[in-house]
Amino acid sequence: KRTPLMYYHGGSSFWFGGAVTANTVQAQAANPDGYVYVYGYKSTGFFRQMVAARVREADFEWFDRWEYFDGTVWQKDPLKAAPLLDHISTEFSISQILKGRNKGKWIAVFTYDTNTPYVAYSLGDTMVGPFEKPNVVYKAPEIEFFGKTTYCYNAKAHPQLSESDNILVSYNTNTYSFEHNRANSDVYVPRFLRLKEV
């Protein structure tokens, strides 16, 4: 089925599908509202900002029933989706913190500025913010270890495999050099770390 989840307007592009969070009973959400939230990004040049859409679980495949958050209300025009968080990557995660000092908040985990060695997070009061300024918490060593053709991307949390105060995070690495990949298969594998509340 055709998926109209990419739009162009005014020198920017809007892409939806970078993260999906089901706030439903079936997903065992703390406060389910019956919606599936589909996040994406507004891309202007190389700068990306998070945007959000939602749809009722039963209506997921009916794109004319999707709504987009304009910073104040949910409405039908995807081009009015408001930027919610700067420096987001093309894939990321949004999950709720269920215990600890940030209980009830939502955490976005992402690679700062898409293809960098920096893993970052941001806390939001709701699923659509407001989100705080990104906090860079980790610099991946692979670029220095494997060489300058290596890059890192798509950090995200795995809440199903985590506790709220001890979050499993993965990020990917690869190389621009095909010969490098052939010579060392360890370049192109996911990496994991733990984001712990202290």
Task: Report which secondary-structure segment, H or E, holds 20.
Answer: strand 12-23
Positive or negative: CA dihedral 37, 127, 136, 163? negative
Question: Which residues, including other chains, have CB under 8 Å from residue 136's CB and lie 6 or more apart?
Answer: 112, 118, 119, 120
Question: Which residues, including other chains, have CB under 8 Å from residue 156's CB and lie 6 or more apart?
Answer: 19, 91, 92, 93, 109, 110, 169, 170, 171
Residue 77 has pLDDT above 90, yes or no: yes
pLDDT at 144 (0 to 100): 85
Residue 50 has pLDDT above 90, yes or no: yes
How confident is the model over 92-111, as pLDDT tens digits? 999 999 999 999 999 999 99
